[in-house]
Amino acid sequence: MSNPIHEKILAALDTHGCAYETQHHEPTPTSQDAARVRGVELHAGAKALVVRGDKTKTYFLFVIPADLKLDGTAVRSLIGERVSFAQDPESVTGCVPGSVPPFGSILGLQTYVDSRLAENKIIHFNAGSLTDSVSMSYTAYLEIEKPHIATLAK
């Protein structure tokens, strides 16, 4: 069964000449499951969270190291409003919870990445599927996605 989000991510990486590795594995609904199956540190996971501004109702994609939690106070000062997690991220992204990739540009969302993700030379993420992961350099991710970089997690 084809997955259009997964295919768009791989096409974007190929278009940019990015080196990456893919891994097909058992379903990984949590960051802990994904790190275990991939055999990597939890901190190297790029956890993508879909949130909505309470005032503007605008959706955003926040990408943080998988071992951290989103810092609501930092996010509020960054975008100027309180946010809450999207009630139905699948209707916004086309991805089931746990499979949202860190590419808001592909999902039609503005992307913000926590500065501590840079502590990883290689980042790992579910690519639109709970059973398909991509590993790529953090530097290449920045070059392709061009996210806003800020302190978002605690």
Query: Per-residue pLDDT tens for 76-107?
Result: 999 999 999 998 889 999 999 999 999 999 99
Residue-number span of the structural domain to which 24 is assigned: 4-150
Count up the domains in the chain and report the number.
1
CA–CA gap between residue 61 and residue 49 (Å, rounded):
6
pLDDT for position 1:
52
CATH, residue 56: 3.90.960.10
Give the position of tokens 């398909």: 132
Predicted pLDDT of residue 5: 93
Q: Which residues contact 46 (CB under 8 A, 6 or more apart)?
A: 63, 64, 65, 66, 102, 113, 117, 123, 124, 125, 141
Average pLDDT for consecutive 10-residue bins of the chain (154 residues)? 86 96 94 94 97 95 97 94 92 93 96 98 96 97 97 95
